[in-house]
Amino acid sequence: MTARQCPECGGLVASTIEACPHCGHIMSNVTSDASSHGENPYNSLGWVILAIFLFWPLGLVSLYYHIKSEDNWDRGKVAIAEMYGKYSRRFAKYSVYAVLVALAIGIFLPFLFLGMFA
């Protein structure tokens, strides 16, 4: 295993690592053979579709990160694909939470106003 210098912070980074552990800079031309022809386990397409139907602004953000995850998986950058897959799932879940909060406010807020004017 060889070490190389990070162009961002100057720290030493192992040749098998895709991102600098010191500053997080993504190292170029680092690939892993683990994803050469398999399916991306960080795929969150189901969550993305649900997010787009429920709350499209966060659903589009989730779709963006899903596409980035798939792209990095196809390039063999497993760690980066995992990171973007987690971001995609996170924003999809945020859209579900946003809809639940909106429903809760829509259901309980009228009762608060009715109680004030009764």
Residue 82: helix, strand or coil by DSSP?
A: helix
Given 3-state DSSP classes, what are the helix, strand and coil percentages for the chain, each rounded to the nearest 5? 60, 5, 30
Rounded Cα distance, 47 and 61, in Å:
12
Q: How large is the C-alpha radius of gyration of the chain? A: 21
pTM of the model as a whole: 0.64
Tell me: the pLDDT tens digits for 11-23? Answer: 888 878 888 888 8
Rounded average pLDDT over 95-102: 94
**Sequence ranges of the domains in the chain:** 1-30, 39-117
Tell me: the pLDDT tens digits for 21-51? Answer: 888 888 765 445 444 557 888 888 999 999 9
Highest mean pLDDT among 8-12, 33-37, 78-82, 107-111 belongs to: 78-82
Residue 21: helix, strand or coil by DSSP?
A: coil
- H helix or E strand, kind and range, residue 10: none
